[in-house]
Structure 1
Amino acid sequence: MRISRDKLNKLAHTVADTLAEIDEVEFLEERNTIRQEARKALEKLLMDELKLDAAARLKIASQRRIIPEGSQEWDILYRKYYNDEVKKLGL
């Protein structure tokens, strides 16, 4: 999934703001540092998701016959291969 830089920053701000509102959470670093780390973590998750998506699509494309994207068979294979890739990562 592609998310714009502005949306990613907004999401990171929301994470930092939400954490700041929790009484049990105490920041040992500046709020901006927390926001930057949240943004890095989100970017890594999105990059990992793109790799999983690409691997699943590659497996479908490597089938002996062409399976049209959007068909029921393609959707089933995509979910299967995507979940297989997630399991390989131990998630």
Structure 2
Amino acid sequence: MRISRDKLNKLAHTVADTLAEIDEVDFLEDRNTIRQEARKILEKLLTEETRIDAAARLKISSQRKIIVEGSQEWDILYRKYYNDEVKKLGL
């Protein structure tokens, strides 16, 4: 899934702001550094999700039989292959 840079920044701001509101959380760095690290982590997760999606789609397209995207069979296989890829990563 592709998220715009602005939306990713907004999400990172929300993460940093939410953490700052928690009494049990103390920042060792300034809030901007926390926001930047949150953004890096989110970018990495989204990149990994894109790779997992592509791997699942590739497995479906490599089937002997043509499976139409949006069909029930395609959806079942997509979920199966997607979950298999996630398990490979240990998530």
TM-score by length of 1: 0.99
Partners of 1:26 and 1:42 in 2: CA distance? 21
Alignment partner, residue 81 of structure 1: 81
Separation (CA, whole Å) in 2 of partners of 1:25 and 1:68: 49
Deviation track 1:7-27 (CA, whole Å, cap 9, x = no partner) reads: 000000000000000000000
Following TM superposition, where does structure 1 have runs of at least 4 consecutive aligned residues deviating by more than 3 angstroms? none
Match of 2:7 in 1: 7
Over the residues paired in the alignment, what is the CA RMSD in angstroms? 0.3
1:36 Cα deviation (Å)?
0.1
Q: Kindly, what percent of the aligned residue pairs are identical?
A: 88
Q: In 2, Cα distance between the equivalents of 1:46 and 1:26?
A: 27
Separation in 2 of the partners of 1:3 and 1:84? Answer: 24
TM-score by length of 2: 0.99
2:15 and 2:86 map into 1 onto residues whose CA distance is 24
Partner of 1:58: 58
Runs of 5+ in structure 2 lacking a partner? none
CA distance in structure 2 between the partners assigned to 1:14 and 1:22 by the alignment: 13
